[in-house]
Amino acid sequence: TARVAEKWVKTTCGYCSVGCGMLVGVKDGKAVAARGNPDHPVNLGKLCPKGLSEHHVLDAPGRATQPLLRKDGKLVPVSWDEALDVMVEKFTGIQAKYGREALGVVGTGQLLTEDTYTLGKLVQLGFGTRNNDGNTTLCMASAVSGYKLSFGSDGPPGSYADMQAADVILLIGANIADNHPILCHRLDRTNRKGEMKLIVVDPRVTKTAMMADIHLPVKPRSDIALINGIAHVLIRDGLVSHDYIAAHTDDYAEFATFVEQFTPKHVAAVTGLSEARIVEVAHLYGNAKAAFIGWTMGVNHSTQGAMTVAAINNLALITGHIGRGGAAPFSITGQCNAMGTRETGFTSSLPGYRKYENAEHREELARLWGIDVDRIPSARGMAYPDIIEGAVAGKIKALWFVATNPVVSFPNFSVLDQALRSVEFLVVQDGFHPTPTSDYAHLVLPAAIWGEKEGTYTNSERRVSKVNAIVTPPGEARPDFDIFLAIAERLGVRDELYPGWTTTADAFREWQRVSAGRMCDYSGFTWQQLEDEGGAQWGGERLYADGVFPTATGRAKLHCVPCLPFAEQPDGEYNFVLNTGRTVEHWHTRTKTANIEMLDTMVPQAWLEMNPVDAAQLKLKAHDRVTVVSRRSAVNNLELRITGIVAPGQVFMPFHFSETNSNLVTLGAFDPISREPNFKQCAVRVEKF
Ligand code: SF4
């Protein structure tokens, strides 16, 4: 097929946050092939199975192609004019009746940065509600909060190149072989100058754990104890950098006293590891010339996610493993543009990582936009889980979901179901219909997807990359950006908020002005340069090289992080700890990948992993169909895999599948700081189906 492509369009993968550069072959106006861009600095021509088949998504069945409005209980096709008139009339009517904040909006890390920036202004300055968040709160909010706690700002300090420069890599709760596969070549030992030790902390023997020199199969949620235990050994054995601590951190004395209790003996009891292993890993980390810590959802998906990130940052700070080549505490982001969502704001921060509570920041934004400063709020509105709980409580009366599918991705489905049924008007804007969420909608807006619109994504290493339109959207589907401008027009704010704008390039230009001088400064980039050079990193290759942090003192803060038991412990009735995760072939709720034959054929259904000891006790055999039951509900008809990959007392299932929705059983417990859900542990029992 590649040979028959008439032209190849440069773009960036629209799935995960690795941000691979790719070339999509086009023939007769259709995308016919995809291959890695050999000149792209992130992936050097490599793509994972999702990237290699991504062109198929542009031809996939199941696309939303016309606006649908619920009339007499049924979704029926209507014109765009009618759809948007009704949406604005309903939203503003509900706001007039119940107050402006009766509207909640949930966006996504799948949108372009230009889309997200435009949407933020529309929600806050057009509709006038603060209740705006992204599905990124389900994956990255704890990393954001943890960085703010330690360093005073969000922003991953390192780069992928640091993975190749480090002599010790510690991955915590990060199964990159499945979830960020193209990062794995950074672990390749063949072209390294020196030795590299890979240490993987994960309760499950993941593909990534199998690549490790040392796998630490900790008991669920005992990661904080391990991290504090490493800090204890580092201090006890003189492996900290007193120069770095004195020059660049606050609260060391208190921290050192706090971790005294995390002796190897105590940590061994909590984690299930041996004392010798804990000391060995601490020594490896402390003696490294440059040590890199990467983490993903195993850390973030916790009621203590933000503080776990702060604990990780503690290790980097007390050893000075930060701001140098190979040395970074590095959050590996989830979605292709989770970073863009974080930077453009009106979620947990104002645009450009400005702070709600900072009057100067609000005044600066008001000046840049030529608006009254009173229109910029001094505190954030509801985070995503609070919007859902607000709907159940009757505070949120209208909801707008943009490119997200919470029926499969949000924890504890029964509460979400109640929320979706409670609101007076629900709009679902998506590239696909029906989806489990669009089935609830009063109004479905058909949107263009990756490959049908132009703008930028920012990946985990702060690399801003160009995304191009390859084909036109099907039917009447429109780019999200066009939909936002058409809504602004109806609200009478288009000229004020988006003066003279017609394309996402206009949004990018304004965002450059608004981000100028901020940490996430886009002002020096041009779209052409981003396309030609495989993107560019805001902040350069690494942050904090000078040891100066954006805090009041200019120094980073060390935090005392207690290790608390996770929210729902197993007992006699619900005797297993359920862990959830992903597989390389699928993306999130499979809205796209279930419609790509190659990927769906490889992994057509979910499964449950159980240790042989437990299976024998329950008299279950491989391939039995089983039911997973929690205090909330049950997931039926899962194929049983009996494997030592999971420890006795633990079971694992992937979350992608709506037919066997893991979120029927997961717990609605959230981090009090980041509001991120605790997807990773809940108590279940397993029965034969
Ligand atoms: Fe796309 Fe991520 Fe795969 Fe790269 S690793 S091809 S960015 S899904």
State the ipTM, two decimals.
1.00
Bridge partners, 537 (sequence order): 463
Distance 4 CA to ligand 1 centre (A): 24
Among 35, 42, 182, 296, the mutation site with the greatest number of ligand 1 atoms within 8 A of its Cβ is: 182
Distance 204 CA to ligand 1 centre (A): 23
Domain 576-688 CATH (choose: 3.30.450.20, 2.40.50.100, 3.40.50.10490, 2.40.40.20): 2.40.40.20
Among 48, 467, 584, the mutation site with the greatest number of ligand 1 atoms within 8 A of its Cβ is: 48
Place of tokens 């505490």: 329
- Rounded to whole angstroms, how far apart are CA atoms 502 and 560? 50
Distance 613 CA to ligand 1 centre (A): 36
Q: Where are the alpha helices (DSSP H) in 578-620?
A: 597-602, 612-617
Distance 528 CA to ligand 1 centre (A): 22
The alpha-carbon radius of gyration of the chain (Å, integer) is 24
| 157-332+551-557 carries CATH number 3.40.50.300 | no
Reduced to 3 states (helix: H, G, I; strand: E, B; else coil), residue 223 is: helix
Fold of 2-59: N-terminal domain of TfIIb (2.20.25)
- Rounded to whole angstroms, how far apart are CA atoms 325 and 319? 14
The answer, yes or no, to whether any atom of ligand 1 lies below 6 A from the CB of 18, is yes
What is the position in ligand 1's atom list of the atom closest to the CA of 49? 3
Distance 136 CA to ligand 1 centre (A): 18
pLDDT in the model for residue 3: 60
Q: Where are the alpha helices (DSSP H) in 323-383?
A: 338-344, 359-369
Task: Report, as ranges of residue numbers, the positions in the chain whose pLDDT lies below 50.
Answer: 1
Distance 604 CA to ligand 1 centre (A): 20
What is the position in ligand 1's atom list of the atom closest to the CA of 43? 4
Reduced to 3 states (helix: H, G, I; strand: E, B; else coil), residue 536 is: strand
Distance 13 CA to ligand 1 centre (A): 6
CATH code that applies to domain 68-139+337-450+475-505: 3.40.50.740
Domain ranges, ordered by start, for the chain: 2-59, 68-139+337-450+475-505, 157-332+551-557, 576-688
pLDDT tens profile 96-155: 999 999 999 999 999 999 999 999 999 999 999 999 999 999 999 999 999 999 999 999
The answer, yes or no, to whether any atom of ligand 1 lies below 6 A from the CB of 16, is yes
What is the position in ligand 1's atom list of the atom closest to the CA of 48? 3
pLDDT in the model for residue 668: 96
The answer, yes or no, to whether any atom of ligand 1 lies below 6 A from the CB of 51, is yes
